[in-house]
A and B are shown apart, each in its own frame.
Chain A
Amino acid sequence: QVQLVQSGAEVKQPGASVRVSCKTSGYTFSNFAVHWVRQAPGQSLEWMGWISTANGNKRYSEKFQGRITITRDTSASTAYMELSSLRSEDTAMYYCARDPTSADNYFDSWGQGTLVTVSS
């Protein structure tokens, strides 16, 4: 079955960077785009960006432009999200999610989430 398994929780100091991985299985990785969505404690969901797993094209929310990098390793069926210059407001659960058509931008399968805590 379709699975997206994310890397474990991270604790980072302000100003540092974090890299979260999303390993997929149960389907052909390059056929479906991967998006990243985050959720601060007690808050709603916030879309961050996506990557075409077929050709590596990507698009980011302007809010994170300059701080976010999304990449993929097709040989490992894994997508990555790196966020730099972390601040306390970046403390959140980070999710990867699959676009079921690579053209629709809604999400039919999600990773379990990676908690990133930014604290000095």
Chain B
Amino acid sequence: DIQMTQSPSTLSASVGDRVTITCRASQSFSTWLAWYQQKPGKAPKLLIYKASSLESGVPSRFSGSESGTEFTLTISSLQPDDFATYYCQQYNSYPFTFGPGTKVDIK
């Protein structure tokens, strides 16, 4: 199984900050990674697929990139609605696996 790790596990930031979350895989693959946002008591919401493709309707302040086995989610200017937990998911191979999550809270 591909194990996914995320860093940091918690991130304290202010509105307007640039935020970067990193996801690393235990095995090398490219492209087949998605990012989700989850708020308490709600289902996850798709933000990014194929590592860098923005889901329709998602604000352009969200972006994704990849470099080797490292994938990055960037929020260019954090907004009040963005305080949530973020998960990466690999869909390169079975079983599809998620990272442990990064909680973004208010500084």
Residue numbers of A with Cβ under 8 A of B are: 35, 44-47, 59, 61-63, 95, 97, 104-108, 110-113
Contacts and interface: CB of A to CB of B under 8 A. Distances in A.
Contact of A104 (B43, B49, B99): B49
12 contacts: A44-B101, A45-B36, A45-B98, A46-B98, A61-B95, A62-B95, A104-B50, A105-B91, A106-B46, A107-B46, A110-B44, A113-B43
Interface of B: 32, 34, 36, 43-46, 49-50, 55, 87, 89, 91, 94-101
A59 B32 CA distance: 18
Contact of B100 (A44, A59, A63): A44
Contacts, number: 50
B11 to A, nearest CB: 16
A30 B68 CA distance: 36
A112 to B, nearest CB: 6
Contacts of B94: 59, 61
A12 B98 CA distance: 27
Nearest to A107: B46
B97 A47 contact: yes
A67 to B, nearest CB: 14
Contacts of B44: 45, 95, 107, 110
A29 B102 CA distance: 33
B34 A44 contact: no
A3 B94 CA distance: 26
A45 B44 CA distance: 9
A108 B55 contact: yes
B43 A47 contact: no
Given A44-B98, A106-B49, 10 more contacts: A44-B87, A46-B98, A47-B97, A104-B49, A105-B32, A106-B34, A107-B34, A107-B46, A108-B55, A112-B43
